[in-house]
Amino acid sequence: MGILSFINGLFGSKKETQEEIMKKFLIVGLGNIGEKYDNTRHNIGFKIVDALVKEYEESFSTEKLGDLAKLKIKGKTVFVLKPNTFMNLSGKAVLYWMKKENILIDNVLIITDDLNIDFGKVRIKGRGSAGGHNGLKDIQDKLNTGSYPRFRFGVGANYRKGGQVDFVLGKWSDDEESALIERVPTSIKAIESFVNAGLANTMNTFNGK
């Protein structure tokens, strides 16, 4: 069985060439829906993809399992997703849109917060464990693999013992808000690099910045 036949068998009946499939991407910002979660540390994935879509003067529409936007980045078709399943059930939305749009797992990028990374720093990897993050855990469970690209945005760990949940669900401080004005555009550049230059180049350029 050729690779294109395998892909079509795996992802459904939509007939596309291998070249067309290779040029499609799914960028997923993780977060929780609802006003009380707006602008919280746990919703940095939403914040980054909101900024990305705004940068390209597009908008989200409410679709199955989430809000979806479609961008063109240098000839590539990029679907941008904000799951509405709540953070801990994100995998269902990711798997649905991968199948619906015939998107390869190497062309998926999951954006989320990370307590173990200093505030504002990014760490991009092609695989790994969920690291205690329930959103990533559900994605790993639904995709049946931990080998998918992920973009972790550091929120730091400036909380007292036992205060982890309140910290990640808390609002950004004034100092953090000011710093995000610079850090979010850097994140957009990293996403563009992932689409245009690939995972390895993006890791080399942006990890630790």
Q: State pLDDT tens for residues 6-50.
A: 444 455 545 789 999 999 999 999 999 999 999 999 999 999 999
The answer to whether residue 42 is catalytic is yes
The pLDDT value recorded for residue 8 is 47
Has residue 5 been placed in a domain?
no
Residue 176: inside a domain: yes
pLDDT digits (tens, 9 = 90+) for 114-171: 999 999 999 999 999 887 788 999 999 999 999 999 999 999 988 878 788 899 999 9
pLDDT at 14: 58
With respect to residue 13, please indicate whether it lies within any of the assigned structural domains: no
User: 69-115: per-residue pLDDT in tens?
Assistant: 999 999 999 999 999 998 999 999 999 999 999 999 999 999 999 99
Catalytic residue among 41, 42, 133, 183: 42
Across the range 185-194, mean pLDDT stands at 98
30 belongs to a structural domain: yes
Confidence of residue 4 (pLDDT cuts 50, 70, 90): very low
State residue 102's pLDDT score: 95
Structural domain for 89, as ranges: 18-206
Number of domains in the chain: 1
| CATH number of the domain encompassing residue 40 | 3.40.50.1470
pTM of the model: 0.90
Give residue 175's pLDDT band: very low, low, confident or very high (50, 70, 90): very high
pLDDT score recorded for residue 160: 79
pLDDT, residue 104, reads: 97
Give domain status of residue 1, yes or no. Answer: no
Residues tagged in the binding site annotation for tRNA: 37, 86, 88, 134
Let me know if residue 64 belongs to a domain.
yes
- SS3 for the chain is CCHHHHHHHHHCCCCCCHHHHHCEEEEEECCCCCHHHCCEHHHHHHHHHHHHHHHCCCCCEEECCEEEEEEEECCEEEEEEEECCCHHHHHHHHHHHHHHCCCCHHHEEEEEEECCCCCCCEEEECCCCCCCCHHHHHHHHHHCCCCCCEEEEECCCCCCCCCHHHHHCCECCHHHHHHHHHHHHHHHHHHHHHHHHCHHHHHHHHCCC
